[in-house]
Amino acid sequence: MSRSIDLFIRSSQPIEELAREVARLTGLTLSPGEDGEGWVLDDGDIHAELHRHGYVDDGDLLLESYPFALSARVVEGTRPADSDEADFLRTAAEGLRRGGAESLLVHDLEYRDRPRRPDAAGSRETAGSAEAGGPRGAGDGGRPS
C-alpha cells in the first residue's frame, strides 16, 4: 500500500496552461499524461502527476478552492513527511509561492471507503482507497495509518 502527498494548487487556468506555469516557476519538466487529462513529472525516482482533483472540503481543510493537485505516492514503511517525494513537493511549492501561485501541501490524505471502526486506541478510523467519501485527515506529519 502506498500513501499520497499532494500539493494542491489554486488556479483558474486550464490544466495545459497550469502545467506550463508550474514548469516555468519550478524549473521542472512536465509531460502530457497517458490519460490525456493530466500531466506527469518524473525526476529520478520521483514520480508525480498534475491533475484536476475531486476532493471535497473537510472542515477547515478547504480543498475545493484548489482545483488542481500535483500528487506523488510514498511506499509503505516511509513516513510521508520524511520522504524524498515530500522534499520534492516542498521545493515545487516554494517555486510556486515565489511566482505568486497559491498552494497547499498535504501529507497522507486519507479516504473513507469502509464503515468506520476505531483502532486499538478507539480514536481513529480505518481508511482505505478513494472509492467513496471525502478526505479524513491531512498534514498529520506522516502519522502511520
Low-confidence ranges of the chain (pLDDT < 70): 1-2, 109-145
Q: Which residue has the cell 506529519?
A: 141
Residue 110's pLDDT is: 57
Separation CA 38–CA 64 (nearest Å): 18
Measured distance CA(78)–CA(54) in Å, rounded: 26
- The predicted-structure confidence for 98-137, as pLDDT tens digits, reads as follows 989 999 999 876 543 333 334 433 333 333 323 223 333 3
What is the DSSP track for 66-87? --EEEEEEEETTS-GGGSHHHH
